[in-house]
Amino acid sequence: MMAFSLFFSNSMCSPRKAFADLLSDEEEIQELRTKNSKTYQLSNGSFKCVVSADSIHYMNSDGEYEDIDSSIIEETTQQQYRYRNTANSWNVFFSDYLVNQDAVKIQNADTSIAFSIQGGNNQYSVQKAEVLSECELDYYSEISKDDRAVVYQNVFDNVDVVYSARTGVVKEDIILKDGSSQNTFDFAINLDGVVAIQDQNGIAFLDSHNHEVFQFGKLYMIDANGKYSEDVTADLHCEDGRFFVRIIANESFLKDVNTVYPVVIDPTITITGASNTYDTCVDEQYPSSNYYTSVNLWTGGKTSNNTMRTYIKFDIPSSVSNCISSATLKLKKNAYAAPGIKAYRVTSSWTSSTVTWNNKPSFTTSGATSTCSVYSGDWYQINVKTMVEDWKSGTYSNYGFLLKEPSETNADQKTRWYSSDASSPNKPELVINYVGISCWYSDSNLIGRRTNSPTLWYSKLNSNPSFMFVTGMTHAESQWESALGISINSASSATSSSLKYYGGTKAEIDALGLFPSVPTNNLGLTQYSYSQWGTISYNGSTKTVMIMSSTTGYIVDRSDMGTNNYKKTCTHEFGHALGWIGHPSPSQPTWVMQQGILENTVLAENEKKHLLQAY
């Protein structure tokens, strides 16, 4: 599309820097927080939205989102407890010894569930998991880095119990150190405001409205080599008015000569509605298994043998416009093979707590991304801009990404990643940079931006010493470079420039044959081509963001203009070339982007802000 406006040009060019990428200064816009995202305004006026596949905020009593902090701190108000999680919509408390009555209590509003182990030792009091840092076993090495975890050591001979406070679950790991460890564990349960029921889906705890508040999830156990079994039972029973849960791990699995210790038994308690983590992996070797609460995601392996794939979904806030500059999926590798994964668009719905290899959703290879690349250290990145744009535009429904190796032909090509259940700052995230509109000062509903480094060439067509064209152009460059945080490259010729300007009399400009006949009262003109990038809603109206391309313009040599008039006119026209489409309202008579022979040469803060937000 071709449009016309006032514009400028120059005869001589000095070397210039490339487009500046000034994204280091960030300020969070707390009003745009969602349960799973933060949005920042960058120093160049654009926005960055960082989305998690898990909740990162909880809503406080004033209806405001606050940061979830699952790290373990000392409890100072309830004497019977040593530790608790820091900040969430619910709390978990840990007593000194797991054999104490109500040793672990999970409080959610006016309901709670508390439990203690039966018949155990009180040889060692509870400690933060960092105490395990000198243990050489992989499990202990990993958990010792998790500031959300506590450990009860030697609760039974060769048995430790670790609890970690996640976003929406309390994960319990019963660690059997060797084959002599017992396989049966009894817990006394104390309930407040809830009742317990057991069905084929597990054990649930319901409030007075019959709403589920807590859930005892599906159990499994895994050995040090990743050998996996769901042959673990949890049975609820009542004795003398008290509830008990008995956990039994299959003895055959534990005694198998191929089982490598330690073995971790995983019963997890979910705080219903507190969070919905949307990432997990599926495993061809264990096709009916679900890994919802695992701190790991996996990709790789060989088809019809040991293939593993990861599913991950991000709920993108409505505040993200469809004018997206970039969208990057970032994941941190935990161990094993260097990855070569791509992201594929999932085409049907799935639930992270129930998806398995057997019921995994469909996906399409059409529009698959390029291969992941190293971002920094163990972090990898995937460009997912096209998929995110398609979700925002409504072209496709957002069912998330499938992450997998493209060929899946190598049984040894397996990569372990950190999941959203891992401790911060290891969690996956989707980073979306976009243009948003926070103010509007133009009489047009269009605004433009240049996505490539501008190259400028200009030519003065006469030697009139009072025609301050070059001075005006130099001033214009300086004003807009400062306003937008960009640098403008010089071009050696008109053919190598994206911005071309001529300065001369009406007759000299008409003689070029590049423009319509110059009107007698014209000060300058800008001709530019553009294409539509996207639309943004602002105060009930639709604003369209354009991508500016080739531009040609002129400044007229007039006897009624002085130095400041030329500075103002050149800056005005250059603003149009960079995307300031239209003009301010008449109530802003001193603005540079206002029409007319004026002497205001310095851009007003709000007219800078207007165009800056498109960059």
In the block, residue with structure tokens 């469909």: 362
The DSSP symbol for 61 reads T
Side-chain-side CA neighbours of 201 within 13 Å: the count stands at: 9
Sites in the chain below the pLDDT cut of 70: 1-25, 273-275
Q: Which parts of 439-593 are beta strand (E)?
A: 446-449, 455-460, 489-490, 499-504, 524-538, 541-556
Position 275 scores a pLDDT of 64
Residue 396, exposed/middle/buried by CB under 10 A (0-12, 13-18, 19+)? middle
Position 2 scores a pLDDT of 37
d(CA 69, CA 50): 17
CB 224 within 8 A of CB 261: yes
| CA 445 vs CA 480, 540, 551, 583, 610: distances in Å | 21, 12, 20, 11, 12
d(CA 489, CA 496): 11
Provide the mean pLDDT of the chain: 92
Partners of 107 in the β-ladder:
91, 112
- DSSP H or E run through 376: strand 373-376
| pTM for the whole structure | 0.81
CB 55 within 8 A of CB 48: no
Which residues are within 8 A (CB) of 424 and not within 5 positions of it... i.e. 6 or more apart?
Answer: none
d(CA 286, CA 349): 21
pLDDT digits (tens, 9 = 90+) for 205-232: 999 999 999 998 789 999 999 899 999 9
CB 566 within 8 A of CB 472: yes
CA dihedral of 62, 64, 65, 67, whole degrees rounded to 10: -60
CB 73 within 8 A of CB 64: no
CB 113 within 8 A of CB 93: no
User: How large is the angle between the packed helices 469-484 and 563-578, nearest 10 degrees?
Assistant: 50
Side-chain-side CA neighbours of 513 within 13 Å: the count stands at: 0
CB 477 within 8 A of CB 487: no
DSSP secondary structure string, 229-295? E--EEEEEEEETTEEEEEEEE-HHHHH-TT--S-EEEE-EEEETTS----EEEEETTSTT---TT-S
The DSSP symbol for 450 reads -
CB 359 within 8 A of CB 290: no
Position 173 scores a pLDDT of 96
In the block, residue with structure tokens 């104490």: 100
Q: Is the CA virtual torsion 496, 499, 502, 506 positive or negative?
A: positive
Position 485 scores a pLDDT of 87
d(CA 201, CA 117): 23
CB 556 within 8 A of CB 523: yes
Q: Side chain identity at 178, as an amino acid letter?
A: D
Position 216 scores a pLDDT of 87
Q: Which parts of 43-103 are beta strand (E)?
A: 47-52, 57-59, 65-67, 69-74, 83-87, 90-94
Position 274 scores a pLDDT of 65
